[in-house]
């Protein structure tokens, strides 16, 4: 105990280590990587939820393929499930019934697969929001953001195709809507549809083809993208929140070995446990109750899985007012704009945002300290507006359920959502920005005055004041980060000689200057703030803090 | 609480590169019970904080308890698996939904408990037994130095020069030319994925004289079978009753038959459209012209046909014109008449292409 | 309270509050979404018994005439002078319509302008039979009451002794089982999915119509209720008479509905009311993601250096 000697590695382990190292020269690399530091914060674990649910999806998916038969040829069900015996259905549906009622644990694994898919996409969204609001997409991490957007978009398509495979009533309708959107594409729509479906809808080709995409091509691409995402993260190291010793130059956290490996391992089990727990007790997608797909039937309350909800909602909200003909040829904007346009808007907007923001602010520096959302009010406001836009579309995707549950007229819900889709994001932007600025003022006040201790004391003059105390060094550090985050970036429009600077010339240059001004003009200045400089006489400076 | 991530604030400005020898201060106090003990961990003592042995021991016991729970739950998983037979010969079997629910709950519950306990055990382990860690590590300077960059650039351009790709354009251009057909090959190979649409989307299997039959029972319908206010989903009578209609034929031919008081027909019905009805019986395609869901939600009081997918609403009394929602075209109407025995038959194909509107839907071939 | 006061500034306190709130949300949801299988509560039918048309006329005069008129031709708002006292003509509606509306408690209605939900029935089965007979004889016949289709289960209160009640109940259950056990599954499923599910949903949970109307859920509906609804076409619902869907086909359809509703949920005790994807997404976000995030908070929570 008293010496600093590390224990000798066991002989077997040493043997294996040497065997590998003799061939790959890994000792130094391995040590460097096992020393990799990961900052601690729960919001930094959100991406891991996605990674782990993806692993669960791969494991359970392989299990399901052992029995699933992706065929649309007709069969009469003669399996163990009594209620549907003698019913005509596709092989795909019959084999899904087989997994449910003839394979022990099959139902559980199918439910785990479905819940994991919902959690996978949901965790992608929360992870992406965390990255967005903390500005972790900025240089040098823009490429990883783009990969993330690609993962998100492919995951949605992957989910839609998986949902379609069992060939039950709602899943077949999902395919039908997919085909309807394909048909609406000008000029080539009918060709695309005929190639995709091997002829007319539904044909007998679509499920085998979707199956190939669902289990081979798309997961392959996802796996490659996730690997790339992870390698880049590993290479660039994780961002961290502001705090003592945490700088742009060094990261503070738990090293990979042994601490973080144990934490991440434990978290994998937690994720798996939560998904399994849901699958054990909450029924999901009971295809045996829905009945097999027929192209002639439909059910009310028909919904896709939640991540397709925003598309469903946009198809419901977008009116037919803008449909037009060119020489008799139809341009179906009522399908094209919500079916493809909104999707393009979402993913295009996400993909372009880091570059747009960098262009506006002219910020070319590398960032390793995550922003506090309040310190970048415009970005936070835009994010809130985006969430509202998405949320309204998502809610609109269930307007029939809302109408039925709350007894509102169906057409009224459509109109409410149409208006909310335009007004909601604007309001969300304004309100969020205001809240951010208010928080900035409070931060500045806390920084100067310390925090309110809750103790009231009487001054000799007879007046009562609340005693303010010094914040902890960590709090001070966090609050002071606003100095660097909310900085004003409006570049000078004229240089020292009074000549218009090149960057400010032309339409784009002027637009950029205006945008940059808009981006930061309302920020509360922290530049001249000295921590705890106004610890005494709080009441007099209370008002000053609001000015800037 | 917030200031104890590093108990030694004096060190906080210090920056140290991982891998360099620890400073002289490595003998700093790390645990109350052994203030002068030398640090044994892989990371510098002033950044990791070893827990007292007592805490570690308690943590060990707690984590082991979780692992034991996980073990027992894992055994429970196997028990649950063999408790419920798979085939229907034995009772209770998982083919019975109630048994299936029990089997699913027990299998899933034990598995979830086992997984959670392992996670909990590992978390207790890392939080109680391991030292408390917050170590530092530098972010790498990502851009290469100017020297490295220019060295690479020089090397690369010399190589490119040597290869001749810069100064021998014939080589470069013929290679690109050679790639073009190969690049197009995959596109050509996909040609046989499906037939060309032709006019397939514009016609259905309805012909003059095809009997309308109730979907699901294949019963022919007489005009007097329907009373005002009734509705029924119909299909063309299959030529081969043994095999019925193919899915493709059903998907395009499915029709809703509605009977209303003939006085209810509104001005939206043209003379032609009225001729296509019979005694207040009117037939429309069931496939929504928006994106193709079966639109069959018929309200006999308002004569509205609503599509449950995206709520396109059509007025059955006015030629199925769109009255709300995203659809653009009316539902195509199927001309009907009665044959000599009084059965309803089609008088031809639909008035327009059925299903979602496509590029040349409105163009006659 | 001291305990809370001491810990409310703990760094984890905020998380704990969030988790507790989410847990309440989840548990609350589980409570407000009751499981199906409400007991069918109603009275035993006065099946094929004697009817007293005079009594029926008296009930009509007391409870129906003010809106439907003495001659059964219905009255408009102008005629009654009240926005909530008017009613459609009852000419030719038949006994089944009376039985359906009155036995499901939808009539008498206080406000004909809104859709009536299912309520406990106001009149006894005998009174309803009398009323139906009167309406049929006075205003012309429509479809009759399908007495061979099982209606509501007998209630204890209608019988003098336990033995009589149990005998009636056993008889009812035998008839019920025989009725819903018959009928071709595939025909029933096909007919239901193609003609009914677009309003009443695949599970019979109902759905939204236009102008605030809705298609009611079928959970509480007895086989006879469903049968009568098809031949009567109440409210906005279209008619499916016995010529388009024969009585045997209707039996198959009703069997499908009832067997589907009675089937336990193989996937788990929480069926989310069989609402489907919307509820699943909601649970995935509220319970799934928050459980996992709670674990992440535990793993990464700050610790004292020496504790």
Beta-sheet pairing, B313-315 with B135-138: unpaired
Average pLDDT for C132-159 = 86
Show which of C129, C145, C161 is a domain's final residue: C145
pLDDT at C178 over 60: yes
- Supply the range of the domain harboring residue A117: 14-244+251-364
Q: How far is the alpha carbon of B260 from chain C, nearest alpha carbon, in Å? A: 10
Residues A336 and A397 in one domain: no
Q: A127 or C121: whose pLDDT is higher?
A: A127
Percent of chain B with pLDDT over 70: 87
Average pLDDT for B248-276 = 93
Any C CB within 8 A of B347 CB: no
> What is the spatial distance between Cα A147 and Cα A137, in angstroms, rounded to a whole number?
11
Residues C174 and C253 in one domain: yes
Give A-chain residues touching B43 at CB under 8 angstroms: 35, 255
Cβ A453 vs Cβ A467: under 8 Å: yes
What confidence category does residue B142 fall into, taking pLDDT thresholds of 50, 70 and 90?
confident
Residues C162 and C254 in one domain: yes
CA A99, A105, A111, A113 torsion-angle sign = negative
> What's the confidence (pLDDT) of residue A499?
67
Give B-chain residues touching A254 at CB under 8 angstroms: 133-135
Give residues with Cβ within 8 angstroms of A481, minimum separation 6: A242, A369, A372, A375
pLDDT at B54 over 50: yes
Q: How far is the alpha carbon of B68 from chain C, nearest alpha carbon, in Å? A: 20
* pLDDT tens profile B167-186: 899 999 999 999 999 989 98
Residues A360 and A386 in one domain: no
The answer to whether residue C136 is domain-embedded is yes
> What is the spatial distance between Cα B360 and Cα A327, in angstroms, rounded to a whole number?
10
**Of C193, C249, C184, C196, which is closest to residue C221 (Cα–Cα)?**
C196
* pLDDT tens profile B91-126: 668 888 999 999 999 999 999 999 999 999 999 999
Cβ A305 vs Cβ A86: under 8 Å: no
- Is C68 annotated in a binding site? The answer is yes
Residue of B nearest to C213 (CA): B299
The answer to whether residue A543 is domain-embedded is yes
Residues A465 and A378 in one domain: yes
The answer to whether residue A509 is domain-embedded is no
Average pLDDT for B268-292 = 94
Task: Count the domains in chain A.
Answer: 2
Cα-only R_g, chain B: 39
Any B CB within 8 A of C34 CB: no
Any C CB within 8 A of B119 CB: yes
Q: B33 or C278: whose pLDDT is higher?
A: C278
> What is the spatial distance between Cα B115 and Cα B209, in angstroms, rounded to a whole number?
65
C210 contacts B299? CB cut-off 8 A: yes
User: Alpha helix locations (H) across A66-105?
Assistant: 91-101
Any B CB within 8 A of C195 CB: yes
Cα–Cα distances (Å) from B341 to A32, A104, B163, B231, in that order, read 90, 56, 87, 21
- Is C64 annotated in a binding site? The answer is yes
Residues A387 and A349 in one domain: no
Q: What are phi and psi of B57, to 5 degrees?
A: -65, -40
Show which of A330, A364, A398 is a domain's final residue: A364
Cα-only R_g, chain A: 29
> What's the confidence (pLDDT) of residue B105?
95
pLDDT at B2 over 60: no
Q: HEC string of A136-170? A: CCCCCCHHHHHHHHHHHHHHHHHHHHHHHCCCEHH
- Cis peptide upstream of residue B92 (ω within 30 degrees of 0): yes
In a 13 Å sphere around the CA of B176, the CA atoms on its Cβ side amount to 6
Average pLDDT for C6-18 = 66
Show which of A315, A347, A364 is a domain's final residue: A364
Burial (Cβ within 10 Å: 0-12, 13-18, ≥19) of residue C184: buried
Q: How far is the alpha carbon of B341 from chain A, nearest alpha carbon, in Å? A: 28
Q: In this complex, which chains have at least 3 CB pairs below 8 Å with chain C?
A: A, B
Residue of C nearest to A306 (CA): C281
CB atoms within 10 A of CB C66: 16
Task: Count the domains in chain C.
Answer: 3
Show which of A336, A364, A392 is a domain's final residue: A364
- Supply the range of the domain harboring residue C101: 51-145
> What's the confidence (pLDDT) of residue A129?
96
CA B137, B15, A368, C297 torsion-angle sign = positive
A81 contacts B95? CB cut-off 8 A: yes
> What is the spatial distance between Cα B337 and Cα B320, in angstroms, rounded to a whole number?
19
> What is the spatial distance between Cα A254 and Cα A35, in angstroms, rounded to a whole number?
9
Cβ A426 vs Cβ A385: under 8 Å: yes
**Of A385, A389, A443, which is closest to residue A418 (Cα–Cα)?**
A389
Any C CB within 8 A of B109 CB: no
Give residues with Cβ within 8 angstroms of A290, minimum separation 6: A168, A169, A170, A299, C202
Cβ A542 vs Cβ A457: under 8 Å: no
DSSP assigned state of C108 = S
> What is the spatial distance between Cα A180 and Cα A110, in angstroms, rounded to a whole number?
29
Residue of C nearest to A288 (CA): C266
Any B CB within 8 A of C18 CB: no
> What's the confidence (pLDDT) of residue B15?
41
Residues A357 and A400 in one domain: no
CB-closest option in C195, C213, C263 to B97:
C263
Secondary structure (DSSP) of A273-311: HHHHHHHHHB----HHHH-B--TT---TT----GGGHHH
Residue of A nearest to C295 (CA): A270
pLDDT at C302 over 90: no
> What is the spatial distance between Cα C307 and Cα C300, in angstroms, rounded to a whole number?
16
> Over chain A (548 residues), what is each successive 10-residue block's mean pLDDT?
67 92 92 91 94 97 96 92 90 95 94 96 96 94 96 95 93 91 93 94 93 96 97 93 87 89 95 97 94 90 88 92 88 91 92 93 87 91 95 91 86 94 96 93 85 80 81 83 65 63 75 84 79 59 41
> What is the spatial distance between Cα C256 and Cα A83, in angstroms, rounded to a whole number?
9
In a 13 Å sphere around the CA of B345, the CA atoms on its Cβ side amount to 14
The answer to whether residue C46 is domain-embedded is no
Q: Between B and C, how many residue pairs show a Cβ–Cβ distance under 8 A?
A: 136
> What is the spatial distance between Cα B258 and Cα B283, in angstroms, rounded to a whole number?
6
Percent of chain C with pLDDT over 90: 37
Q: Between A and C, how many residue pairs show a Cβ–Cβ distance under 8 A?
A: 201
The answer to whether residue A498 is domain-embedded is no
Give A-chain residues touching B297 at CB under 8 angstroms: 300
In a 13 Å sphere around the CA of B158, the CA atoms on its Cβ side amount to 6
CB atoms within 10 A of CB C94: 22
> What is the spatial distance between Cα B291 and Cα A178, in angstroms, rounded to a whole number?
8
Residues A358 and A397 in one domain: no
Residues A339 and A402 in one domain: no
- Is C295 annotated in a binding site? The answer is no
> What's the confidence (pLDDT) of residue C28?
60
Any A CB within 8 A of B202 CB: no
Give C-chain residues touching A285 at CB under 8 angstroms: 276-277, 280
Cα-only R_g, chain C: 26
A335 contacts B356? CB cut-off 8 A: yes
Q: Which domains does chain B have, with CATH numbers?
A: 32-135+147-193 (no CATH), 201-346 (2.102.10.10)
Residues C73 and C173 in one domain: no
Q: What are phi and psi of A332, to 5 degrees?
A: -90, 75
pLDDT at C108 over 60: yes
Give B-chain residues touching A112 at CB under 8 angstroms: 108
CATH of the domain at C139: 1.10.760.10
B193 contacts A254? CB cut-off 8 A: no
* pLDDT tens profile C91-105: 888 899 999 999 998
Beta-sheet pairing, B132-133 with B48-49: antiparallel
Q: HEC string of chain B? A: CCCCCCCCHHHCCCCCCCCCCCCHHHHCCCCCCCCCCCCCCCCCCCCEECCCHHHHHHHHHHHHHHHHHHHHHHHHHHHHHHHCCCCCCCCCCCCCHHHHHHHHHHHHHHHHHHHHHHHHHHHHHHHHHCCEECEEEECCCCCCCHHHHHHHHHHHHHHHHHHCCCCCHHHHHHHHHHHHHHHHHHHHHHHHHCCCCCCHHHCCCCCCCCEEEECCCCCECEHHHCCCCEEEEEEECCCCCCCCCCHHHHHHHCEEEEECCHHHCCCCCCHHHHHCCECCEEEEECECCCCCCECCEEECCCCEEECCCCCCEEEHHHCCEEEECCCCCCCCEECEEECCCCEEEECCCCCCCCCCCCCCCCCCC
Burial (Cβ within 10 Å: 0-12, 13-18, ≥19) of residue A487: middle
Q: In this complex, which chains have at least 3 CB pairs below 8 Å with chain B?
A: A, C
Beta partners for residue C87, in sequence order: C75
Residues C139 and C64 in one domain: yes
Element (H, E) at A365: none
* pLDDT tens profile C227-267: 999 999 998 999 999 989 999 999 999 999 999 999 999 99
**Of A202, A400, A388, which is closest to residue A315 (Cα–Cα)?**
A400
CB-closest option in C9, C195, C298 to B233:
C195
pLDDT at B5 over 50: no
Element (H, E) at A133: helix A106-133
Residues A459 and A310 in one domain: no
Residues A305 and A333 in one domain: yes
> What's the confidence (pLDDT) of residue A406?
84
DSSP assigned state of A181 = H
Residues A354 and A441 in one domain: no
Residues A360 and A257 in one domain: yes
C198 contacts A41? CB cut-off 8 A: no
Residues A55 and A191 in one domain: yes
A32: left (phi over 0), alpha (psi -120 to 50) or beta: alpha
Give residues with Cβ within 8 angstroms of C301, minimum separation 6: A42, C11, C12, C15
The answer to whether residue A348 is domain-embedded is yes
Q: List B residues 156-175 in contact with A (Cβ-Cβ < 8 A).
A: none
Residues C220 and C281 in one domain: no
Q: A142 or C186: whose pLDDT is higher?
A: A142
Q: How far is the alpha carbon of A460 from chain B, nearest alpha carbon, in Å? A: 34
CB atoms within 10 A of CB C99: 27
The answer to whether residue A182 is domain-embedded is yes
Any C CB within 8 A of B256 CB: no
């Amino acid at each position: 105990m008293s010496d600093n000697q590390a224990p000798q590695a066991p002989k077997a382990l040493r043997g294996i280590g040497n065997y590998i190292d003799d061939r790959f020269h890994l000792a130094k690399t391995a040590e460097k990587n096992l020393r990799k530091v990961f900052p601690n914060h729960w919001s930094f674990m959100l991406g891991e939820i996605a990674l782990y649910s993806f692993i669960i999806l791969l494991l359970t998916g392989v299990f399901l393929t052992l029995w699933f038969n992706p065929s649309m040829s007709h069969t009469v069900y003669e399996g163990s499930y009594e209620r549907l015996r003698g019913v005509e259905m596709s092989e795909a549906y019959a084999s899904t019934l087989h997994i449910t009622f003839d394979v022990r644990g099959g139902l559980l694994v199918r439910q785990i697969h479905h819940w994991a898919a919902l959690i996978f996409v949901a965790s992608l969204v929360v992870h992406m929001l965390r990255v967005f609001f903390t500005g972790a997409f900025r240089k040098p991490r823009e490429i990883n953001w783009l990969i993330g957007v690609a993962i998100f978009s492919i995951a949605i398509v992957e989910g839609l195709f998986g949902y379609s495979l069992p060939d039950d009533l709602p899943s077949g309708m999902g395919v039908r809507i997919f085909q309807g959107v394909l048909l609406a594409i000008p000029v080539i729509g009918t060709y695309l549809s005929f190639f995709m479906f091997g002829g007319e809808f539904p044909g007998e080709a679509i499920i085998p083809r979707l199956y190939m995409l669902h289990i081979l091509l798309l997961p392959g691409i996802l796996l490659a993208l996730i690997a790339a995402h992870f390698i880049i993260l590993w290479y660039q190291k994780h961002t961290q929140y502001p705090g003592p010793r945490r700088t742009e130059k060094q990261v503070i956290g738990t090293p990979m070995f042994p601490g973080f490996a144990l934490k991440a391992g434990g978290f994998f089990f937690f994720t798996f446990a939560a998904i399994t727990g849901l699958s054990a007790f909450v029924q999901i997608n009971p295809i045996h109750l829905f009945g097999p797909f027929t192209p002639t039937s439909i059910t009310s309350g028909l919904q896709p899985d939640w991540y397709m909800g925003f598309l469903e909602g946009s198809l419901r909200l977008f009116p037919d007012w803008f449909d037009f003909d060119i020489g008799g040829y139809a341009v179906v904007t009522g399908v094209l704009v919500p079916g493809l346009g909104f999707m393009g808007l979402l993913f295009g907007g996400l993909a372009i945002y880091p570059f747009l923001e960098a262009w506006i602010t002219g910020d070319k520096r590398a960032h390793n300290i995550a922003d506090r959302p309040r310190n970048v009010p415009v970005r936070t406001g835009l994010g809130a507006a985006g969430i509202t836009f998405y949320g309204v579309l998502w809610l609109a995707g269930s307007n029939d359920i809302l109408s039925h549950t709350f007894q509102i007229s169906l057409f009224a819900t459509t109109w409410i959502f149409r208006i909310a889709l335009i007004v909601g994001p604007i309001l969300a932007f304004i309100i969020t920005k205001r809240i951010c600025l208010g928080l900035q003022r409070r931060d500045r006040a806390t920084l100067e005055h310390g925090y309110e201790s809750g103790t009231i004391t009487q001054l000799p003059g007879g007046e009562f004041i609340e005693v303010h105390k010094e914040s902890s060094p960590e709090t001070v550090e966090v609050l002071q980060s606003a100095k660097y985050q909310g900085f004003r970036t409006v570049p000078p429009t004229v240089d020292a000689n009074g000549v218009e600077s090149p960057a400010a010339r032309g339409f784009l240059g002027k637009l950029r200057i205006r945008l940059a001004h808009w981006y930061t003009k309302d920020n509360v200045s922290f530049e001249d703030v000295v921590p705890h400089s106004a610890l005494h006489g709080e009441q007099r400076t209370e008002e000053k803090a609001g000015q800037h | 609480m917030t200031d104890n991530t590093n108990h030694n604030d004096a060190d906080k400005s210090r920056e140290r590169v991982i891998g360099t020898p620890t400073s002289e201060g490595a003998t700093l106090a790390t645990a109350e019970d052994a203030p002068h003990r030398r640090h044994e961990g892989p990371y510098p003592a002033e950044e990791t904080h070893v827990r007292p042995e007592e805490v570690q021991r308690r943590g060990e016991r707690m984590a082991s308890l979780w692992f034991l729970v996980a073990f027992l739950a894992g055994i429970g998983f196997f028990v649950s698996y063999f408790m419920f037979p798979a085939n229907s010969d034995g009772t209770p079997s998982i083919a019975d939904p109630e048994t299936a629910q029990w089997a699913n709950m027990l299998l899933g519950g034990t598995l979830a408990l086992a997984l959670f306990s392992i996670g909990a055990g590992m978390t207790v382990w890392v939080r109680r037994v391991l030292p408390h860690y917050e170590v530092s590590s530098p972010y790498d300077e990502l851009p290469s130095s100017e020297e490295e960059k220019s060295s690479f650039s020089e090397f690369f351009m010399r190589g490119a020069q040597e290869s001749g790709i810069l100064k021998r354009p014939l080589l470069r251009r013929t290679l690109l030319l050679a790639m073009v057909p190969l690049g197009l090959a995959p596109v050509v190979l996909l040609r046989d994925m499906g037939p060309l649409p032709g006019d397939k989307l514009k016609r259905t299997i309805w012909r003059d004289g095809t009997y309308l039959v109730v979907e699901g029972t294949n019963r022919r319908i007489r005009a007097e079978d329907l009373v005002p206010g009734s509705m029924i989903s119909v299909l063309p009578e299959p030529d081969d009753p043994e095999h019925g209609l193919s899915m493709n034929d059903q998907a395009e031919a499915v029709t809703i038959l509605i009977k209303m008081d003939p006085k209810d027909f509104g001005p939206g019905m043209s003379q032609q459209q009225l001729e296509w009805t019979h005694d207040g019986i009117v037939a429309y395609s069931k496939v929504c012209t928006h994106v193709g869901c079966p639109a069959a939600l018929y309200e006999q009081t308002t004569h509205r046909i609503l599509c449950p997918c995206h709520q396109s609403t059509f007025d059955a009394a006015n030629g199925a014109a769109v009255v709300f929602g995203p659809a653009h075209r009316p539902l195509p109407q199927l001309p009907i008449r009665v044959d000599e025995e009084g059965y309803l038959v089609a008088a031809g194909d639909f008035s327009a292409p059925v299903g979602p509107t496509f590029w040349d839907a409105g163009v006659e071939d | 309270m001291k305990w809370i006061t001491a810990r409310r500034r703990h760094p984890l306190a905020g998380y704990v509050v969030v988790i507790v709130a989410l847990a309440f949300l989840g548990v609350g949801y589980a409570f407000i979404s009751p499981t199906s299988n409400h007991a069918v509560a109603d009275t035993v039918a006065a099946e094929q018994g004697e009817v007293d048309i005079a009594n029926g006329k008296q009930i009509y005069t007391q409870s129906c005439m003010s809106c439907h008129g003495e001659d059964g031709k219905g009255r408009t708002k102008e005629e009654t002078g009240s926005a909530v006292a008017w009613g459609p003509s009852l000419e030719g509606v038949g006994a089944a319509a009376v039985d359906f509306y009155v036995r499901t408690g939808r009539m008498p209605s206080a406000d004909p302008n809104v859709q009536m939900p299912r309520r406990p029935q106001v009149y006894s089965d005998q009174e309803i039979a009398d009323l139906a007979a009167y309406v049929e004889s006075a205003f012309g016949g429509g479809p009759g009451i399908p007495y061979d289709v099982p209606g509501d289960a007998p209630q204890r209160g209608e019988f003098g002794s336990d033995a009589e009640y149990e005998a009636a109940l056993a008889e009812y259950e035998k008839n019920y089982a025989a009725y819903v056990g018959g009928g071709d599954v595939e025909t029933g499923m096909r007919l239901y999915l193609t003609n009914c599910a677009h309003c009443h949903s695949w599970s019979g949970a109902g759905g939204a119509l236009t102008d605030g109307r809705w298609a009611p859920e079928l959970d509480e509906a007895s086989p006879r209720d469903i049968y009568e609804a098809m031949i009567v076409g109440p409210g906005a619902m279209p008619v499916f008479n016995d010529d388009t869907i024969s009585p045997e086909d209707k039996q198959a359809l009703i069997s499908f509905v009832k067997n589907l509703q009675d089937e336990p949920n193989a996937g788990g005790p929480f069926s989310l009311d069989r609402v489907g994807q919307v509820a699943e997404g909601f649970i995935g976000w509220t319970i799934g993601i928050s459980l996992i995030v709670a674990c992440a908070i535990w793993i990464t929570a700050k610790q004292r250096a020496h504790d």
